[in-house]
Amino acid sequence: MNPHDLAARPALSPPEIRVIMIGLMMAMFPGALDATIIGPAMPTIGRELGDISNLSWIATSYLLVSTAVTPLYGKLSDIHGRRIMLLIAIGLFALGSVLCALSPSIIALALARGVQGLGGGGLVSLAMTVIGDVISPRDRPRYQVYTSIMWTMANLLGPIAGGYFAEIWNWTLIFWLNLPICLVAYVMTNSKLKALPRNERPHRLDYPGALLIVIASGLLQLTLNWGGTHYAWSSSTMLALMAAATVFVAAFVWRLATAEEPLIPYRLLSNRIILTGATSVGVTMAIYVGLTIYVPVFLENVRGLSAGRSGLALLPLMVFSVLGAMTAGRVMIHVKRYKFVSLIGLGVAAIGLVPMFLWPMELSIFQIEILLGVVSTGVGAVFPTTTVSIQNSVARHDLGTAMSLITFMRNLGAAAGVALFGAIIAGLAPSLDATTAAETFRWVFLVGALGYVVALILLIFMDERVLNGASGALR
């Protein structure tokens, strides 16, 4: 048990914890919704603003900024406290949303999305950090269902709302919708989090390290987003981008080794639970997000489904992760050795993709939906285990930095998965027949299965510690 976690703390009643959890879910929801709501509206936005060529920057600018600033939020919350940094993140996200809704051009919208990303980079990681502050590791799994339900609602409502607003009303409602959500989140978190004890220690922000990680992560994101889509991997632009990313990553690693107080402390980098757990989450997200992007392409181009029908067929992959998360959470509450649920989940997810690799044309759509549900259930079991294990392994004054690392790896993994699967099907021409196209997509499912095996192996090496805190008590 961490010595800094032993101090007596005022117990919070279950109703108080529920109110805090609802407020935190409201804070996380805009960031989660952003990942799914903007896609269906992008063609309409491009037409109305008269700029299709720069349309991709609407998504890219947000991802670049939000991923780059995520580690900074973790460190700053350890310095200044969770509440103030979460309120700043909510405020910046709301401000960015207003600027997006008022944007007169794609370039202005892309810049406004960058402002929105300044806030979005802290919403998820800070909310998860506060959960770690108010609930003991032993009790956290039972509250993971809140997070799972929130992500599922975002995955379900996002595409529907985005398409509906763009086609029937106005695309700006996508951004105006964030304002009442942010307002409720601001009020709830501001009032309830004032009563929480402060866990931070005196820290100094490593400004050179912060600048290096912002530049390095931005270059990595550009490399993963542009490679194989905007530019060929062997092009001079991509080679220069990869070289620059390598230089700045190396410079950041050097800074971590030499700074008096690095942005990410050595005690966290040497923590095997953080290294293996966060990396396993990154690999898992890479495959999961890659599948959510390219399975509809498979269903439309190979199996001949309409866009609407392929979206419905994807629902099991988006929804059933809640079942896996709830199962893992329940097991963690009642047993000391809890990691096996996630290991089984990743094994099941890998096996679930094998039939799609072997028989991409022979399986019925219903059978594919069942397999996607199996994959999603297995994947869902990973996140509660890794998140709670990492929270359980660090002192409270390092919790913000640790949670930001998880979010950073999730975002980086998502970008890597899209790039990886995009590279696999890059040579797929629309004129190819379905059978030939199926041969290409078989590699998507095989790589996905192998990716989940890699995540499983990483999780095997993650230490399994008994969760701190008595049930029902706030430690």
Q: Which of 178-182, 291-295, 310-314, 350-354 has the lowest mean pLDDT?
A: 310-314
Per-residue model confidence as pLDDT tens digits over 453-465: 999 999 998 887 7
In a domain, 3, yes or no: no
In a domain, 2, yes or no: no
Print burial letters for 168-185: b (CB count within 10 Å at least 16), e (below 16): eeebbbbbebbbebbebb
Q: Please count the CA atoms within 13 angstroms of the CA of 106 that sit on its side-chain side.
A: 19
Q: What is the CATH number of the domain that holds 77?
A: 1.20.1250.20
Q: Which CA distances in Å does 287 have to 7, 149, 163, 255, 415?
A: 41, 21, 25, 31, 10
Domain count for the chain, please give it.
3
Q: Which residues pair with 227 in a beta bridge?
A: 231
Instruction: Check whether residue 320 and residue 177 sit in a common domain.
Output: no
Instruction: Check whether residue 321 and residue 218 sit in a common domain.
Output: no
Residue-range definition of the domain harbouring residue 74: 10-194
In a domain, 162, yes or no: yes
Is residue 199 scored above 70 in pLDDT? no
Instruction: Check whether residue 254 and residue 180 sit in a common domain.
Output: no
Quick check: 74 and 129 in contact, CB under 8 A? yes
Q: Which of 51-60, 136-145, 292-301, 427-436 has the lowest mean pLDDT?
A: 427-436
Given this model, what pLDDT does residue 240 score? 92
Mean pLDDT of the chain: 80
Is residue 96 scored above 90 in pLDDT? yes
Instruction: Check whether residue 102 and residue 218 sit in a common domain.
Output: no
Instruction: Check whether residue 251 and residue 368 sit in a common domain.
Output: no
In a domain, 98, yes or no: yes
In a domain, 201, yes or no: no
Instruction: Check whether residue 114 and residue 23 sit in a common domain.
Output: yes
Is residue 428 scored above 60 in pLDDT? no
Instruction: Check whether residue 181 and residue 322 sit in a common domain.
Output: no
Per-residue model confidence as pLDDT tens digits over 143-159: 777 777 787 788 778 77
Quick check: 56 and 174 in contact, CB under 8 A? no
Instruction: Check whether residue 190 and residue 225 sit in a common domain.
Output: no
Instruction: Check whether residue 285 and residue 413 sit in a common domain.
Output: yes
Instruction: Check whether residue 154 and residue 27 sit in a common domain.
Output: yes
Average of per-residue pLDDT across 364-390: 90
Instruction: Check whether residue 245 and residue 327 sit in a common domain.
Output: no
Instruction: Check whether residue 237 and residue 186 sit in a common domain.
Output: no
Average of per-residue pLDDT across 323-352: 85
